[in-house]
Chain A
Amino acid sequence: MSVAAPPAGAAAPATGIESPAARLLMRRHRLRWWETLPWLAGIAFYFAAPDYLGFGCDLLVTILFALSLDLALGYAGIITLGHAAFFGVGAYTVGMLASYNIWTEPITSLLLAATTAGAVGFLSGLVLLRTTGLTLLMLTLCTMSLLYEAANMGAAYTGGFDGLPSLPIGPVFGVFEFNPLYADTQYLFALGVLLVCFVFVRTLVYSPFGQSLTGIRENVLRMHAIGSPVRHRLIVCYTISAALAGIAGALSAQTTAFVNLAVLGLDRAATVLIVLILGGYGRLYGAFIGAVVYLALEHFLAQLYPTAWQLGLGLLLVLISLFARNGILGLGDTLWRRFRPRRGTS
């Protein structure tokens, strides 16, 4: 990067490659050693906890879903209460294709689900993203409720509350069969899909496109002023986010071989929001941390003490929103800054 005319003035900061700011900027995209840890943990989980692979699948699906929401909410600042709409569309795409034996090959099914959910995201984004704030919140919520009621109305095809059980899912690559009793293939398949999607999202948010999304979140007026096509960017981002959510929903339908109305419910939309904010939004690994913490707590507490779990969750949400604005990772950042040995910066 060449600077044509270095800023004049006595207190001008050091420019060029050597300045701390430049080094920081250049370091941002680099892969860090710890970025391999989640994947190593994912593989370790496969060998260490063979009895919990069903739970593991649930975890991977939740991470992917939260990651898709992070793209829209954390990066582009689109506040949505209805993200389960796309999760549900993806899940029903795979579910209905499989249930009526139209198409059961898992990878192409995922792509189909992504396309359908992406299309719904594009069409709704086209009209919804003209609004902001409460109106946007309401419109996303209503869109989800609308799809929910539509699925309820078409219960003859969607199975309604009872859902579509025992979906036949074809073998992965034509070789690896999904075993309904033992979720080992499902787990590895989900892990692979999550890895591919994660690499995609990571590349996207560090690209100029991703940077412009952050700009829109931080100061939409300024982005308009510098000539950024704000609405266009938002629609593209919303569509991608919807497609990823669709993949998450499809993955959920495939790994559990089941889909019902709950995939479109407010519960699911609220849960993924909580997961993401718990972990920390606008940062790639918030989805991972949030999903692990939330699901682990839910899995081990909710079955034993459902009411206490709800009370604890409520208290946790209130505390996080009041004191830890950016979730667990944000809290970690703050602590890290406070206790890190100070290095001279000048």
Chain B
Amino acid sequence: MNFVADFAGILLGGLAAGTVLFIVSVGLSVTMGLMGFVNLAHGAFAMFGGYIIVLAMNRAHFGFAVSLVLGFIATAALSVVLERTLYRRLYRGGELDQVLFTIGLIFIFIATLIIVVGPESQTLQLPPALAGQLNLGLLTYRTYSIFLIVIGLLIALGIWLTFERTRIGGQIRATVDNRRMAESLGIDVDRLFTITFAFGSGMAGLGGGLGAEFLGLDPQYPLKYLVYFLIVVSVGGLGSVIGVYYASLILGVLDFVLTLYLPKGGTIFIYILTILILLARPQGLLGRKEL
């Protein structure tokens, strides 16, 4: 009985962390699938949104839900501005320029946050309704983790339905599969990209705030988790929401277990697994796009 409870506890903790990874990375997967743009600065948007959310709660004393909405909108707005003015100049550039540009953006975000807010890490003050423990019958577990897992599941379901059932979802899938053909059919890929970029960045911002509990929130955030976001996206498959969901949950649980039992260098298994998966399936687990 005790063993089962332990096991369930580890699983839930890992799933919650994985859910955070999913909320942050799902936008990256779709925008990379659409434009093939290597956006290493995606984590910077997550950090920006996270800061907006945490600061709105801690300093302006907004409610939790209001702060989340605010974080989403602010990040989405910022990303649209950057996309229209800077990112779009590099769509036809090489990967190298994109890598360099987005690394530069990360540095700018980090330095600006240190100057404006300060180098210390921020903590999320949970609303009382989410701060306690929840009795699940078999075991009691932190309400917030359960809340996150449920939210993540709903988001994954929502995005998946949007992809499969709506017009814009169909357009996105068509463009990921074959951009030229989609353009020939009259799909406005430029506009589509701006919308998904804004939405994906907004989601990242949301994830940055929701996950402050698990990933922490300090100015080094975009560099610290860069590799994890990229692993999730490339293992899940570009443009595949369900693939990214699975990959995030697997990575979350693995990371949770490994840091618990093998704190020194245990994450080596994550890299080995990633390399093996990518060698066997370069397009990712559920990716359809040929790379």
Contact = CB atoms under 8 A, between A and B. Distances in A.
Interface of A: 73, 79, 81, 127, 130-135, 137-139, 141-143, 145-146, 149-155, 160, 266, 270, 273-274, 277, 281, 307-308, 310-311, 313-318, 320-322, 325
Contact of A146 (B86, B100, B103, B272): B272
Contacts of A317: 100-101, 103-104, 107
Contacts of A137: 38, 95, 99, 230
B154 interface: no
Interface in B89-139: 89-90, 93, 95-101, 103-112, 114-115
Contacts of A307: 111, 114-115
B279 A139 contact: yes
B69 interface: no
Contacts of A135: 234, 278, 282-283, 291
A131 B90 CA distance: 23
A322 B101 contact: yes
Nearest to B234: A138
A259 B231 CA distance: 28
B97 A325 contact: yes
Nearest to A267: B223
A134 B226 contact: no
Interface residues of B, number: 47
Contacts of A131: 278-279, 282, 291
B84 to A, nearest CB: 14
A132 B291 contact: yes
B86 A73 contact: no
A330 B86 CA distance: 21
A273 B107 contact: no
B230 A266 contact: no
Contacts of A160: 264
Nearest to A141: B227
Interface string B57-101: 000000000000000000000000000001001100101111111
B268 A146 contact: yes
B111 A314 contact: yes
Contacts of B186: none
Contacts of B90: 321-322
Contacts of A273: 99-100, 103
6 contacts: A131-B278, A134-B38, A134-B95, A137-B99, A153-B266, A314-B109
B107 A149 contact: no
A91 B227 CA distance: 23
A79 B264 contact: no
A318 B223 CA distance: 17
A255 to B, nearest CB: 27
Nearest to A149: B268
Nearest to A323: B89
Interface string B247-284: 00000000000000000111110011011001100110
Contacts of A134: 32, 36, 38, 95, 234, 238, 291
A320 B283 CA distance: 31
Contact of A150 (B97, B98, B105, B265): B265
A193 B108 CA distance: 36
Nearest to B274: A142
Contact of A311 (B115, B268, B283): B115
B3 to A, nearest CB: 27
Given A130-B282, A150-B268, A155-B264, 16 more contacts: A79-B96, A81-B99, A135-B234, A138-B274, A138-B278, A142-B231, A143-B275, A146-B272, A149-B268, A153-B264, A153-B265, A155-B265, A273-B100, A318-B108, A321-B101, A322-B101
Nearest to B96: A79
A143 B268 CA distance: 10
Given A134-B238, A321-B93, A270 B103 contact: yes
A311 B279 contact: no
A308 B111 CA distance: 7
